[in-house]
Amino acid sequence: MKQLVWRIYDDSNTSQAVLVAATFHAEDAAAMAAHFGDGHRVTYCQPHTSRYVDVWREGSEDFPAAESYDRAAELMHKRAGLC
């Protein structure tokens, strides 16, 4: 069974992040982060290790994910060490 490795969290509640979505593809995660808006964080979960890496925070990057899902996904892949 495939694991949903790209997870989107709402960090607006400072006491605990809330998982709002998960997907198989970084491009979809970028679209969801753009939809949910500033402060939402994308995390990559490495399969079989449960190691989590923060790869995107909407509103804190050089450009919004809505500007280019592909470009945001490429950056997420680099930060996750996948390319």
Segments making up each domain of the chain, as ranges: 6-80
Q: Which position has the token pair 């069974």?
A: 1
- Digitized pLDDT (tens) for each residue of the chain, 83 residues in all: 567 799 999 987 667 889 999 999 999 999 999 999 999 999 999 888 878 999 999 999 999 999 999 999 999 999 999 88
Q: What is the pLDDT of residue 2?
A: 63
Q: What is the pLDDT of residue 8?
A: 97
* pTM for this predicted structure: 0.89
Q: What is the pLDDT of residue 11?
A: 82
Q: Is 11 left (phi over 0), alpha (psi -120 to 50) or beta?
A: alpha
Neighbours of 57 (CB within 10 A): 16
Q: What is the pLDDT of residue 48?
A: 80
> Are the C-beta atoms of 9 and 18 separated by less than 8 Å?
yes
The alpha carbon of residue 66 and the mean position of all alpha carbons in its chain are separated, in whole angstroms, by 13
